[in-house]
Amino acid sequence: MEPIRKVSIIGTGSYVPEKVLTNKDLESIVDTTDEWIYSRTGMRERHIAAADQAASDLGAEAARKAIDDAGISAEDVDLIIVATLSPDMFFPSTACFVQEKIGAKNAFCYDLGAACSGFLYAMDTARAQIACGAVETVLVIGTEKMSTFIDWEDRSTCILFGDGAGAVVLQAGGEGRGVMQSVMGSDGSLAHLLSTPGGGSRNPISHEMIDQKQHFLKMEGRDVFKHAVKRMGDTVLQALEKNGISSDEVGCFIPHQANIRIIDAISKRLGVADRMYSNVEKYANTSSAALAIALDEAVKDGTISKGDLVVLTVFGGGFTWGANVLEWGK
Ligand code: COA
């Protein structure tokens, strides 16, 4: 199915905070080892935001770079969508805070919640808004300060996450096929396997809730792992089929950066190990920022160049998952 109007990514940017937390550093926080973390996840280090940096600060840094890269001004942006599960506050939206920081005064702004899948969902929402003619230029940001929402006494989760942000600018037009159709899916019956159960309207903030550490991320790692491998693999194949593209034509596959073993399992299944992109070693899992940071790095380090077909795929809490195909036109 052809989009009504073609949509292209015209700029990318990313930002990670200065502070690096290595696996060795984690050895003095919880009962773990560099060897265990690296062999089970492929992670060596992650970045941790400063106390005075919230998700919107990280997102604004990435957004400024994407806007510069696009060669536009912040005032040209019609819409800002921020994907995050670590917003500055429940409301107003983190997107409104980013708008104020970067001076995108002509944009309307909202956040989108799809956990680690949020950036791809937001990109597809932006694509649809542009394709139907509602807006011309959209800034999509994935930004996370995961370090505030994880339990630093739980070794099974705290080793896995990092902070960071990535952004893209999408606009009508451009060369090549641009951002094509996505395939996305969700399964709310599995929500309990990956969630932050406390602090919302189901289990509001109380001393008891905090004593029980319900305000921190909880995960059934093995179950999440199995579903992530299956869903991302299936959805990539569905997205390729939907867009009439064979996997041999794809120059670069960028999966959610949650665990190198998940990425390797998908590579093996699809037979695309030579074209699979990963930076999980440097940043760990930055949730909705992961795909955006990886896309920016793959473009900047020359892995992706003009005319390449790129497949993006994500998986996250909900469960949510999805894949998108695009032709790089810059
Ligand atoms: N250091 C040392 N040992 C650890 C540890 C750590 N940081 N974390 C867990 N362990 C222990 C466990 O307690 C368990 O011990 P036991 O066998 O005595 O009970 C043992 O290591 C094996 O745990 P297991 O959960 O089977 O490990 P695993 O090989 O499945 O790896 C994950 C655990 C979390 C790395 C893996 O399941 C994973 O990556 N899951 C998906 C995570 C993900 O993608 N989340 C986000 C999706 S958006």
207 lines ligand 1 (CB under 6 A): no
Q: Is 96 a catalytic residue?
A: no
Q: For 216-248, what is each residue's pLDDT tens digit? A: 999 999 999 999 999 999 999 999 999 999 999
Percent of residues, the chain, with pLDDT higher than 70? 99
Specify whether 227 is catalytic.
no
Which DSSP string corresponds to 52-92?
T--HHHHHHHHHHHHHHHHT--GGG--EEEEE-SS-SSSSS
Cα 193 to ligand 1 centre (Å): 14
Average pLDDT of span 249-260: 98
Whose alpha carbon is nearest atom 38 of ligand 1? 221
In short, whether 140's Cβ falls inside 6 Å of ligand 1 is no
What distance in angstroms lies between residue 155's CA and the mean position of ligand 1's atoms?
8
Mutate to test the pocket of ligand 1, among 38, 225, 226 (most ligand atoms within 8 A of CB): 225
User: Which residue from 254, 233, 240, 237 is spatially nearest to 298, judged by alpha carbons?
Assistant: 254
Q: At what angle do helices 290-300 and 118-131 cross, to 10 degrees?
A: 70
pLDDT tier, 2 (very low <50, low <70, confident <90, very high otherwise)? low
Q: Whose CA is nearest to atom 39 of ligand 1?
A: 259
Condensed to tens digits (0 to 9), the pLDDT of residues 67-84 reads 999 999 999 999 999 999
Report CA(41)–ligand 1 centroid distance (Å): 9
Annotated active-site residue 285? The verdict is yes
In which band, very low, low, confident or very high, does the pLDDT at 175 lie, cut at 50, 70 and 90? very high
Mutate to test the pocket of ligand 1, among 25, 38, 39, 40 (most ligand atoms within 8 A of CB): 40
Q: Which amino acid is at 91?
A: F
Q: What mean pLDDT value characterizes the chain?
A: 97
Q: Ligand 1 atom closest to Cα of 158?
A: 7
Summarised one tens digit per residue, pLDDT across range 179-226 is 999 999 999 999 999 999 999 999 999 999 999 999 999 999 999 999
pLDDT for the residue 17: 98
The strand pair at 7-15 and 164-172 is best described as antiparallel
Closest to 38 in 3D by CA, of 20, 22, 60, 54: 22
Report phi then psi at 238, rounded to 5: -65, -40
Letter string b/e over residues 277-309, b meaning 16 or more CB atoms within 10 A of that residue's CB: bbbbebbbbbbbbbbbbbbbbbbeeebbeeebb
Q: What global pTM score does this model have? A: 0.97
Looking at 23, 109, 243, 256, which residue is catalytic? Answer: 256
Q: How far is the CA of 212 from the centre of ligand 1 (A)?
A: 21
Q: Is the C-beta atom of 39 inside 6 A of ligand 1?
A: no
Which ligand 1 atom is the nearest neighbour of the CA of 115? 48
From the CB of 229, is ligand 1 less than 6 Å away?
Answer: no
